[in-house]
Structure 1
Amino acid sequence: MTATSSNEFCVSCHEMGTPLAEYQKTVHYQNPTGVRAGCSDCHVPETGWPYLQAKVRASKDLYHHLIGTLATPEDYEEHRLEMAQAVWDRMKANDSSECRSCHAFDAMTVDAQKQEAQKRHTEAMETGGTCIDCHKGIAHSLPDMKKAFARAFEELKETAADADLEDTAYTLETMPFYLEQGGDQKAGQLLPATELKITEQSGDWLKATVSGWRQEGAESVIYGAPGQRILTAVMAKPTVEQAEVGEGKVLPETGQTWMPVSVDVWLPQESVTASIEPVWSYAESIYQGDCATCHTAHTPNHFLANQWIGQLKSMERFSQLSKEQNRLVLKFLQYHAKDMTQTAAAGH
């Protein structure tokens, strides 16, 4: 077992050429101090039962070598995400024990670190964060999360297509709506995870009522709650004139006037689902998959609903999410934010 922990053994199979080349470009392989972390230093516990478990678990690598699972670089890329996720999950579960054999919070001079590292390490020590929360991709290239997100969305759409719609449905993505069945003149757009109260089904078309709130002076936008910038729908001018508007109320904290509003719309039945829970599950999975790549992802109730807008905007340049995915994640976070009630989140 000791012999199979050497770097030479680990990279003796041809499929390990890809991770070897990536590792050789990192500070764990070559650095000013001359201290090199080998494969086993990161992937194999030092002693005891965890060590034996790792050795038994590694036997599957020999099996996949024999059947050619990773025979080509393309095969490796196809399986990169699932391999990385398995390692991340394991390191998360064992508090990054292999990392801590060299790196320990109590041995750090945090004040001597760069400002961002000071912030992250202090936060991790206070909240119980672990190394892999922030240090994915330091020895091997990160997986292409975009493909995984796209596959997950197609599975969500397939599941939604098989579900029977009753009186309530939810949009899966940004989509146009119309004021008449089969219309060719768009009357506006519905945002992802918008609740629809279905009043009529005709072939592949649905007639539904979209409800929410609008702010005085911004009549074309329907929001999810008064005072909250949770985008539900954007209406064209003719649609604004047909919307039903209730009595307004002034929010004392802002002085803004908000009014309940609803509008009857027609839309194609595609990209509509009967339950919001699978939508939220998908949104949470891509949020965790994207944001937890660089740091511990904040829980949705960490910020207020309106604060989440700026938070996600500031992270866009680091994100692999598309504009559409970002819209859905934002809505998920807003409806589960600190200042949104349990009723509001569950009802959406």
Structure 2
Amino acid sequence: MKKTEIAGLFLLAVIGVLAGTYTIHRTSTTEFCLSCHEMEAHGFELKRSAHAVDKDKNPISCVQCHMPPGYGLDYFMVKSYLGVRDAVAHFASDTDNLDRRAMQLVARRFVADANCLACHTDLTRNVKGKPISPEGKKAHDAWLGKDGNARRTCAGCHANMAHLPIFDRRYAVNAGFAAKLPRTAEQ
């Protein structure tokens, strides 16, 4: 190969890396996530949830929960999978009638425990600093491997932390969260 061909390929590679980096960064913003109308309900619920802000009182972004921490291979693989899946849903589905029950089950698989532990460092206390319930302590001890082994993730047990679909508003544990959301004919 000639030097000009090598230089051209190098320049294309640099442009590709820069464009990819910009795209990943831009599509990892909450603003981008909520730019599709089918995500508006999720944003509305997040703003009214206990997880509207992080431990430093900064607004929680979608990627803080739904993407693996860091920008390694895991992040790129999950980002690619979710991006393709969301694009297909957006362009090839009836976005006005998405099955939130099914979406919720899938979304929980993409909430890494490390993301929860970034804010929730003391698993013996609730967010108000009070000791958790005996049932909660037993579950956390099992998750930590102190008293048995738990196979569930944080999101597997703690459902509806930031999003509360209408079908889940009926549970007593969700009553406080549901009170912050508008009533609809579907309830």
Kindly state the Cα deviation for residue 86 of structure 1 after the two structures are TM-superposed: 1.1
Would the aligned equivalents of 1:80 and 1:143 in 2 still touch at CA under 8 Å? no
Does residue 1:69 correspond to 2:89, yes or no? no
Q: Which residue of 2 aligns with 1:83?
A: 103
Structure 2 spans left out of the alignment, 5+ residues: 1-23, 174-187
Q: What is the CA deviation profile of residues 229-255 of structure 1, one whole-angstrom value per residue up to 9, with x for unaligned ones?
A: xxxxxxxxxxxxxxxxxxxxxxxxxxx
How many angstroms does 1:55 deviate by?
1.6
Number of equivalenced pairs: 137
Rounded to whole Å, the distance in 2 between the matches of 1:36 and 1:128 is 33
Question: In 2 relative to 1, CA 142–119 (structure 1 residues): closer, same or farther, beyond 3 Å?
Answer: farther
Shift in Å, 1:15? 1.0
TM (normalized to structure 2)? Answer: 0.61
Please, which of 74, 91, 110 is the counterpart of residue 50 of structure 1?
Answer: 74
Instruction: For CA contacts below 8 A with separation 6 or more, give which structure has more relative contact order.
Output: 2
Deviations 1:245-267 (A, max 9, x none): xxxxxxxxxxxxxxxxxxxxxxx
Equivalent position amino acid for 2:73 in 1: W
The DSSP-based 3-state class of the residue aligned with 1:41 is: helix
Q: Percent identity?
A: 25
Q: Does 1:41 align with 2:64?
A: yes
Equivalence map 1:1-348=2 (5 Å): 1-30=24-53, 34-45=57-68, 46-57=70-81, 58-70=83-95, 72=96, 75-76=97-98, 79-91=99-111, 96-103=113-120, 107-108=121-122, 110=124, 113-116=130-133, 117-125=136-144, 126=146, 127-129=148-150, 130-142=153-165, 144=167
Q: Which has the higher helix share?
A: 2
Structure 1 unmatched runs, 5+: 146-293, 295-316, 319-348
Larger Rg: 1
d(CA) in 1 for partners of 2:71 and 2:101? 28
Give the root-mean-square deviation of aligned CA atoms: 2.9
CA distance in 2, matches of 1:31, 1:90: 18
Deviations 1:141-173 (A, max 9, x none): 15738xxxxxxxxxxxxxxxxxxxxxxxxxxxx
State the Cα distance separating 1:50 from its structure 2 match: 1.1
Aligned-pair CA distance for 1:97: 3.3
Structure showing the higher strand proportion among its residues: 1
CA–CA distance in structure 1, aligned partners of residues 66 and 55 of structure 2? 23
Q: Deviations over 1:163-218 (max 9, x none)?
A: xxxxxxxxxxxxxxxxxxxxxxxxxxxxxxxxxxxxxxxxxxxxxxxxxxxxxxxx
Normalised to the residue count of structure 1, the TM-score between the two structures is: 0.35
Counterpart-to-counterpart distance in 1, 2:117 and 2:57: 19
- Alignment partners' CA distance in 2, 1:44 and 1:61: 14
